[in-house]
Amino acid sequence: MAYRHLLLATDFSQAGTHAATRASDLARRYQAELSIIHVVENLPLLDSSFGPTVPFDAELSDRIVAAARNRLAALADQLGIPEQRRWIELGSATAEIIRVAREQEVDLIVVGSHGRHGLGLLLGSTASAIVHHAGCDVLAVRLPG
């Protein structure tokens, strides 16, 4: 079976760079489409239970998302991924990656085996959750060494 649509999930960590090279290489071999996603987690959102003393800093949130968009664009440009296949989402990384994969009919999700959360684990927490819950194949690319 040949894969037709790969989704590279990146958190911009070192393992992510390694996974990016692998995803791009596989997409070329399979002559498959390659999409890319980054999920912005932990935005400083208003929690109304704290009351009006905690302001919702919309400007800071916008700046964080814009910075993520720029980093994603730089990586996507390097990999030759067109604008319509670049995804910046907000929320839970696992849930958003799985949702976009399902909606875009992705048949292989490529992640780093470790990222920002997972060092020291056999498989990082995001990588592990995606393997458990995705409706398609998942490739967890190991960091060299």
In angstroms, the CA 134 to CA 136 distance is: 5
Helix, strand and coil percent figures for the chain, each rounded to 5: 45, 20, 35
| Least distance in angstroms from the C-beta of 1 to ligand AMP | 23
Residues between 16 and 35 that touch ligand AMP (CB under 6 A): 16, 19
Stretches 11-19, 22-30, 73-81, 131-139: which one binds ligand AMP (CB under 6 A)? 11-19
Task: Collapse the DSSP code of 89 into the 3-class scheme (helix H, G, I; strand E, B; otherwise coil) and give the result.
Answer: strand
Nearer to ligand AMP, 41 or 107 (CB): 41
Nearer to ligand AMP, 54 or 135 (CB): 135
Angle (nearest 5°) at CA 58 between 54 and 91: 90
Of 23-31, 37-45, 56-64, 80-88: span binding ligand AMP (CB under 6 A): 37-45
End-to-end CA distance of the chain: 30
* CA distance linking residue 94 with residue 109, whole number of Å: 11
Among residues 63 and 132, whose Cβ is nearest to ligand AMP? 132
CB of 51 to ligand AMP, least distance (A): 29
Nearest to 11 by CA among 124, 106, 120: 124
The footprint of ligand AMP (CB under 6 A) covers 9-11, 13, 15-16, 19, 37-39, 41, 93, 111-112, 114-118, 124-127
